[in-house]
Amino acid sequence: MLKRIALITRKPGMSREAFLEHWNEVHGPLVSEHPNVLRYVQDNVIVKERFVDRNPDPKRPLPAGYQGPEVDGIAELWFADRESMDELYASPHARVMQADGLAHLGTITTFIVEERTAIDRRPEAKGLVLSLAGECVLVTGAASGIGRALALGIARAGAAVIAVDVDASSLDDVVSTIARHGGSAQGHVLDVADRAACRKLARDLAEQRISALVNNAGVAIPSRLGADDIDAAWDRTWAVNAGGVFNVTAAFLRHLEATRGTILNMSSVAARSGRGMNTAYQSSKAAVTQMTRGWAVELADRGIRVNAIAPGPIETALTRHTRGDPDRVAKTLSRVPLNRFGQPEDLVGAAVFLLSGHAAFITGSVLAVDGGFDAT
């Protein structure tokens, strides 16, 4: 690969805060959106030192006052080859990038380099690194349970998170937790069953470069055919579990078309079972599975991948009624070879993988994360 390095010196009179805000929030996303840029790194210069040979002991040079050019930021852009780099810089998009940089940042000096790694002792250098750096992921049902774990895990992987849920107070806690750990997050109260509200949120976020949806919001309302509450239970279950997936996906489709993004739906192993006597939940999750497969084919020519995760028995509020009954616990675990309920965090790795570039050739798949439940 070929790398282009840019040394950026902010405009005279421009504060460091204003420089970083524009570089990180405006110029960076502008550069990143071109498909020829395989990787883009922004290095914020925090210490400037220049080592010179003024010490009588040549083995211990001392830092002198910085005497080189003033540099506030270093941008690193990776390209597959010289041709792909030249294609970008000959395009109208490059002229927009350059005009923005000169008008709002300052002086930019560039170098084209061939990188050679002499040594890399980082732990992640020894194996596969799953990163969502530079991505913006919208997660529904993010206030609790699986959704909360996914929002936190996706943020840890480097993505900016847009968390949505009907529970405003718990949503605030998720957003503040991500921020406290150095991540980027925003929260929006939304009932995914409300189609008009989903479309309004999409309009409100029109300027956000959303590259992935995680359709996680769901309910499980126990009810049986013939029960007095079956109508309400059935309608609400389908409105959230299946209707919500449609509403959010349809509302944010243009965002994903612009970024050639990814959709990750939350199905369930219950979609393939008649056990449990909650037909509304099981059938709604079966619909999610079929939406996943159908949209994977339908949206492939727009560069959008669509996959799903099918969780098994997970310790969340949705399974509280099962876990409160010792007989049902024993019956459930008898079908789980790993002999335990899963934790919401057990789904994070699978989700980050399916959202990442490492899954670039995977679409239409439903990955069971179930302790072996589906194999029995």
Active site residues: 281
Q: Measured in whole angstroms, how far is the alpha carbon of residue 344 from the centre of its chain? A: 17
Beta strands in 11-159 (DSSP E): 39-44, 50-52, 62-64, 73-79, 106-113, 136-140
Residue 365 DSSP class: -
Find the helix packing angle between 145-156 and 168-180, rounded to 10°: 20
Cβ neighbours, 10 Å, residue 217: 26
Question: 258-262: which pairs have CB atoms within 8 A and are 24 or more residues apart?
Answer: 258/209, 259/33, 259/209, 259/210, 259/211, 260/35, 260/302, 260/303, 260/304, 261/210, 261/211, 261/212, 261/213, 261/304, 261/305, 262/211, 262/212, 262/213, 262/304, 262/305, 262/306, 262/307, 262/354, 262/355
Please tell me whether residue 135 adopts helix, strand or coil conformation. coil
Sign of the alpha-carbon torsion through 191, 197, 202, 204: negative
**Angstrom distance (rounded) from CA 34 to CA 29:** 9
**Angstrom distance (rounded) from CA 143 to CA 372:** 27
